[in-house]
Amino acid sequence: MRADRSGQRGFTLLEILVALVIGVLLVALVPPLLSGMSGATELRGAARQLAAGLRNARNEAISSRRDALLTLDLAAHRFAVSGDPRTIALPADVALTLDTAEVEVNDRAAGSIRFFPDGSSTGGAITVANARLSYRVTVDWLTGAIAIIEQDAPR
């Protein structure tokens, strides 16, 4: 006697093979995609750290009614804000450039952006870059406003 199998539940061999192929593709393709994102995430984090430091310097100048500086050491990949004893380290594998007023350049490897008690600044920009991407953190000289601009890396 034959049993009627139309009511049985289960997966066919073809369905199982398709699911396995999809799983193998995900395991093979996702990690390389995520590793490429970590460099961009690290770069964006460095730009945000610099922007936060610049905002802290501006707030310090306004609240203390004295000039405040963010000093960037390009060789050591770190920065500090006047009035704050901490030194913030930036990733060593990013390229840093500083565009600032000539009077704020300490030497070829260090310089500052100065904020005044009225919120204005000497202005300038700090660029953090890797081979594929760069972020430019700009400071408006008149208002002291800070912005982060994403750019393609120069070729």
Lowest mean pLDDT among 1-5, 20-24, 39-43: 1-5
Residue 69 lies in a domain: yes
Sheet containing 146-152, strands listed edge to edge, beginning at the edge strand earlier in sequence: 95-100, 124-129, 133-139, 146-152
Question: What six digits make up the tokens of 81?
Answer: 């804000």
Q: What are residue 149's DSSP bridge partners?
A: 136
The closest alpha carbon to 146, from 71, 47, 56, 54, belongs to 54
- pLDDT tens, residue by residue, 65-112: 999 999 999 999 999 999 899 999 999 999 999 999 989 998 878 999
Which residues, other chains included, contact 64 with Cβ-Cβ below 8 Å and sequence gap of 6+?
83, 117
Q: 1 pLDDT exceeds 70?
A: no
At position 65, the amino acid (one-letter code) is: R
Residue 53 lies in a domain: yes
Residue 28 lies in a domain: no
The pLDDT of residue 13 is 86
When pLDDT is averaged across residues 8-21 and rounded to a whole number, the result is 84
Residue 24 lies in a domain: no
Instruction: State the pLDDT confidence band at 11, using cuts at 50, 70 and 90.
Output: confident
CATH number of the domain residue 62 falls in: 3.55.40.10
Handedness of CA 53, 76, 37, 23 (dihedral sign): negative
Instruction: State the pLDDT confidence band at 4, using cuts at 50, 70 and 90.
Output: low
What residue numbers bound the domain in which 146 lies? 40-152
- Map residue 11 onto helix, strand or coil: coil
- DSSP state at residue 121: B
Assess contact for 130 and 39: CB atoms under 8 A.
yes
When pLDDT is averaged across residues 34-55 and rounded to a whole number, the result is 85
Please tell me the total count of domains within the chain.
1
Residue 35 lies in a domain: no
- pLDDT tens, residue by residue, 110-153: 999 999 999 999 999 999 999 889 999 999 999 999 999 998 76
Residue 107 lies in a domain: yes
Residue 93 lies in a domain: yes
Residue 12 lies in a domain: no
Residues 141, 146: Cα–Cα separation, whole Å: 10
Task: Tell me what percent of the residues of the chain surpass a pLDDT of 90.
Answer: 61
